[in-house]
Each structure stands twice: as C-alpha cells, then as structure tokens.
Amino acid sequence: MNPRRLAAQALLLLLPFFALGRVVINEVCFNPAGPDSGKEWIELYNAGDADLDLEGARLLSGGESFTLVFEFPRYILRSKRFLLIGDSQVENAIFKIPLAFQNGGSATDGIRYVSPDGTYTDTILYDHPNTNGLTDDSGFAGVSFAPNPPEGWSLARRMDGLDTDDCALDFIGEPKPTPGLPNRVRADYALLHPRFWLDDHGWNFELWVKNVSELQTPIPAELQIHLDGALLASYSVPSLAPGDSLSFAAVFPSSSGVNHEIYAVLELPNDPNEVNNRLVFYLNPHDEGLPTLNEVMYYPRQGLQEWVELFVPLHPIRGTYKFRDRAGNTARFTLPPGIGYFVICPQPELFALQYPDCPQELIIGAQTWAALNNDGDDLFLFDPDDQLLDQMSYVGSSAHRGKSLERAPDNPHLWRVSQDPSGSTPGRQNSQAAITPDLADGINISGSPCNPLHGEQLTISYKFENPPGKVNCRIYDQSGLLIHILADQASLPQEGSLLWDGRLKNGKPAPRGRYYILWESRSPQSSKLLRKLLSAVVFHP
C-alpha cells in the first residue's frame, strides 16, 4: 500500500483533516480565455508550518493516465506562501514551462503534485465520468470531482490550503482568478435576531452578525445602522469562525409615539448571499390591520411579468392604493373588499395563464406600473390618503432570477428568497424552508450549523446504486478524538440517512466548533473501500 495512504489514515484520527496538507494545488487555470497556448498556469501553496525544499517534486497531468509535466529544481517554498508556475505568457510565474493540462472532452482529467520523496501526493480530479479510472490520493479510482469551469475561469480551493481530499468540496469555479495571490473566500455572513425595546433613555436596538457558512475569511466586514436614512452607528466586524456570531447594539433618544425606520446593512467582500445582509423594520409599525407588502417578483423568468403581493388582514379602505419605486415611478390599483393575499401586476389576464394555481379573484391589474430594477430597488406602499403603509429594499442578483423575495413566516421583519420549489407563492402563504436535500448518488450532510440545545440534528444522507455493505460512520473533533459512533459495521439499505443530535456519547451537548464525520463502506459488489470525510459545525451559546 502507498505509504502516504497509511500515514494519512493514521493521522486522520489525530488531526483536523485539512491540517494534514503540506504543499497543495491551490488554484489552476487549464482553460484560459482564447487559445490555451502559453496561458495555462497552476498555483501551489505551502499549507504547513515549515518551509519546504521542492527539489525532486513533480507535477503530473492526467488524461488516460498521469504523465510527467515538470520536475522541480531546488526551490524553497516558505510556509503559507504561494508558488506560481505558468506557461510562456503568464506574468509573475516563478517557473515558466510548457503546460498542456487536459481539458474538454467527456471524461475525468486530473493534475497531481508528488513530493520529492514520493510519499505525499495532492491530486485534483475534474469533470466526469472517470472512464479511465484516474486515482485520487487514496490510491483508488476517484469518485468525487471538481467542476469543469467555463473558459477563462480557474478552479480554486474554497479557502487557501483547505484540503479534505474531496475535490467536489474543496474546489469551486472562480470567474476572477487570482494567480499567485490568496483565493477569494466566499464566507456567508447574515444579520439575525433583531430586537428593540424602550427604556428611560430611549430606544435600544440589537442584532447579531453570524457566519452561517463553513468558511472563514480574514477580511473584516462593515456593519452600518441607519435611522430614518441617516447613519446612526458603524461597526467593524472582525473575522468570524464558522458558526460564530457577535451582537451589536445602538441606543438613541426617541419619543415612543413616533415611528422610525431602522435599516441595517452588512458589507462583506465576496459574500455570496447579499439577501441576508440587510434588514429593514420599524420601531412603531402601523396598525397591523393595514395592508403590507408580502412578496415581490422583481426578476421573473423570460416571458413572465413582475408582480407584487400584498397581505390584507382586514377589509381595506376603499380608494386607489399605490406603490412607488426608488426613482419615483408609481403603480396605482384598487383593492377589492376582501381579506387575504392579493397579487398586483400589469397584465392580470396573462398572469392567470402564467400562474394557473393562483385564484383569478386574487389577481389585480394595476392602472400603471413601476418597473422594478433587477440590480436592486426600494418599494413603498401608500394608502388612498398617500400615507406610507409599508416599504422594503432589496439588492438584486441574477442568481435569483425566477425567484421571489418574501417575508419570512417566522420573522416579519426579515425578507428572504422564496424557498418554494417553483420559486414563488403568489396568492398563498409564503414558503417554508426545505430541510432535506434532494440527494443524487453519494453522501451529503445537512443541518449545519446544529444547535443541540434547540433539539436540532445533523442529517447524513446517502444514496447508492447498490447496498453499501458494512458501514462505519464515526465523528471526530478537531483534535482527532473519536466522540461519537453513528454506525459500526452496520448493514444499511442503499438509500437512507443517519442522524446526529450534536451530543457526545454521554448525552451532553458537544462543545461548539467544527466536527468531522468519517464514512467508510465497502460494497459486496466491489473490493474498493469508499471513504468520505464530511464536516459540520455545532454551535450554541
């Protein structure tokens, strides 16, 4: 057996998995814009704590098999430093060599780094199916693959040096490559749990900033809190570990009988989800019996129309209502004498054909229409007396095309992307968040971060073409200590799930932090051992 595999299996029980890496393939561009000749490059990263001499190390390219591309001369790669190797037209490359990495076609390709003594490898496999049986770092044919990115993109690790030996988890397509520089970390921060209360000194306002992703970025975020459009407070948010959060508060004097708008916005470079970075709510909201904005379709699919849904809890005042956008464009409409959900749109007859599940009596045509911007807008709702009833703001995203923005059912101050499979719920109650993923063949985990104090669970879902045979599934903490066993030589069906309640073997809640779930199975139809490492976060106060 490969000595590197033996070492990895032993160390897995003692160390956080991503800490095993030394020199890793950190980013690679094998399909540059235009002709590939002279423009391909690969970036290595020393993720260890010691400087390394690369003399004798090798780079291999895999198509039908792995073949030698380059053998390193003496070169010291410092700890936590990058090494750029490129073809003739790549600027700032330390080594300029002919590169012709495999790309395109309909089968798996790969790139491999081999240490000078041959005992350590780091391999990236991309595209599928793996018809040639290219092996990964386990020595077996790879079963997990990085995507095949579009022309001009690179494949980059989600975080410098992060190495789980699972290419699908470790690598993403990067539209803005960073050769020789740190990778962009797309950590997702969210504004959560806003609350406000009145005391003798005025209004108190508090919210939490939480890292809801499994990545940590070194870049600080900026939180701004606005009162009636004026900046009230500004904070620098330090780097947050996955699952960690910080609370921020502001105090300002105010009369309890006056309504005020609070607008909180969080700016974090490379945050992939800006929807959860903004909150708008009011200190003294209007009568709860008045109409409110409930759902907005600002970027419909091709051929469909924009629309706005209102929720009317009591019979409305007769007259012409209106909503207005940031530029002052106005849509006017009349509400019928009824209660419930009503959809406002420019072409009601066409809407009834486009959304046949929406009752026609709930569809209201607007006399004029205020076109909503796809890249972000403000929406204001006014009653017949031109009094402001409600408002919301959003930041647009092409990734949300065909999906509405809706008020969260459990938090009317929070707007989010619709969780409904169809992308919207016009004329009916807003969606509920889905929990279990739609899993294709393989293993996946959901429910992270998990709070065992709230009864939350992590779900390890699996699906195979054949029964997986005897299965081991164990959970380790970041020191490599075994803390829980979910399956021990268990015979499981070919599809199902295992649950972990975030507690130790003694029933106590696991300390907050990252945990590693190691799956091992060997199908009766195959002699190959399937090993997959997943990570999840346990978080509680």
Q: Is pLDDT larger for residue 531 or for residue 43?
A: 43
CATH number of 292-417: 2.60.40
Q: Looking up tokens 């033996």, which residue turns up?
A: 6
Per-residue pLDDT tens digits for 116-148: 999 999 999 999 899 999 999 999 999 999 998
pLDDT exceeds cutoff 60 at 500: yes
Instruction: With H, G, I as helix, E, B as strand and everything else as coil, classify residue 538.
Output: strand
The confidence score (pLDDT) of residue 358 equals 92
- Contacts by 343-351, CB closer than 8 A, 24 or more apart: 343/307, 343/308, 343/309, 343/426, 343/427, 344/307, 344/308, 344/309, 344/310, 345/305, 345/306, 345/307, 345/308, 346/305, 346/306, 347/305, 350/305, 351/305, 351/307
pLDDT exceeds cutoff 50 at 10: no
> What confidence tier does 440 reach under pLDDT thresholds 50, 70, 90?
very low
**Token digits of residue 320:** 């012409």
The confidence score (pLDDT) of residue 421 equals 83
> What confidence tier does 9 reach under pLDDT thresholds 50, 70, 90?
very low
Among 10-14, 476-480, 516-520, top mean pLDDT goes to 516-520
Q: 311: closest CA among 166, 427, 179, 418?
A: 427
Q: What φ, ψ does residue 348 adopt, rounded to 5°?
A: -65, -35
Q: Which element (helix H / strand E) includes 354?
A: helix 348-354
Q: Which element (helix H / strand E) includes 169?
A: helix 167-170
Average pLDDT rounded to a whole number, residues 451-472:
82
Cα–Cα distance measured from residue 329 to residue 515, given in angstroms and rounded to the nearest whole number: 51
Q: Is pLDDT larger for residue 66 or for residue 104?
A: 66
Cα–Cα distance measured from residue 27 to residue 353, given in angstroms and rounded to the nearest whole number: 48
3-state per-residue secondary structure call for 464-508: CCCCCEEEEEEEECCCCCEEEEEEEEEECCCEEEEEECCECCCCC
% residues pLDDT > 70 (the chain): 88
* Beta strands at 442-446 and 482-491: parallel, antiparallel or unpaired: unpaired
Per-residue pLDDT tens digits for 409-439: 766 777 888 888 888 999 988 886 544 444 4
Neighbour order of strands in the sheet with 482-491: 482-491, 470-476, 513-522, 530-538
In 16-117, which ranges are continuous DSSP H helix? none
Per-residue pLDDT tens digits for 321-375: 999 998 889 999 998 877 789 999 999 999 999 999 899 999 999 999 988 988 8
Q: What φ, ψ does residue 167 adopt, rounded to 5°?
A: -60, -35
Cα–Cα distance measured from residue 194 to residue 209, given in angstroms and rounded to the nearest whole number: 10
Give me the architecture of the 445-538 domain, per CATH: Sandwich (2.60)
Q: 304: closest CA among 258, 351, 343, 344?
A: 351
Counted residue by residue, the chain has a size of: 541
The CA-based angle 478-482-488, given to 5 degrees, is: 135
The confidence score (pLDDT) of residue 242 equals 92
- The per-residue b/e assignment along 212-246, b for 16 or more CB within 10 angstroms, e otherwise, is bbbbbbeeebebebbbeeeebbebebeebebbbbe
Strand partners, 445: 460
The confidence score (pLDDT) of residue 208 equals 94
pLDDT exceeds cutoff 80 at 22: yes
Q: Does domain 3-174 have CATH number 3.40.50.720?
A: no
Q: Which of 160-174, 205-219, 284-298, 314-328 has the lowest mean pLDDT?
A: 284-298
CATH number of 189-282: 2.60.40.10
pLDDT exceeds cutoff 60 at 5: no
pLDDT exceeds cutoff 90 at 198: no
Q: 431: closest CA among 455, 400, 410?
A: 410
Strand partners, 323: 331, 381
pLDDT exceeds cutoff 90 at 525: no
pLDDT exceeds cutoff 70 at 96: yes
**Token digits of residue 140:** 């077996």
Q: Is pLDDT larger for residue 242 or for residue 494?
A: 242
The confidence score (pLDDT) of residue 287 equals 44
Q: Which of 102-106, 297-301, 357-361 has the lowest mean pLDDT?
A: 102-106
The confidence score (pLDDT) of residue 40 equals 95
Amino acid at 514: R
> What confidence tier does 449 reach under pLDDT thresholds 50, 70, 90?
confident
Neighbour order of strands in the sheet with 442-446: 442-446, 458-463, 495-500
> What confidence tier does 522 reach under pLDDT thresholds 50, 70, 90?
confident
Q: Is pLDDT larger for residue 57 or for residue 437?
A: 57
Amino acid at 313: P
The confidence score (pLDDT) of residue 240 equals 93
The confidence score (pLDDT) of residue 465 equals 79
The confidence score (pLDDT) of residue 19 equals 37
The confidence score (pLDDT) of residue 121 equals 94
Q: Which element (helix H / strand E) includes 307?
A: strand 307-312
Q: 420: closest CA among 439, 436, 403?
A: 403
pLDDT exceeds cutoff 90 at 262: no
Q: What φ, ψ does residue 168 adopt, rounded to 5°?
A: -65, -30
pLDDT exceeds cutoff 90 at 152: yes
Domain range annotation of the chain: 3-174, 189-282, 292-417, 445-538
How many other C-beta atoms lie within 10 A of the C-beta of residue 309?
Answer: 25
The confidence score (pLDDT) of residue 204 equals 82
Please, what is the average pLDDT of the chain? Answer: 84
User: Quick check: 284 and 198 in contact, CB under 8 A?
Assistant: no
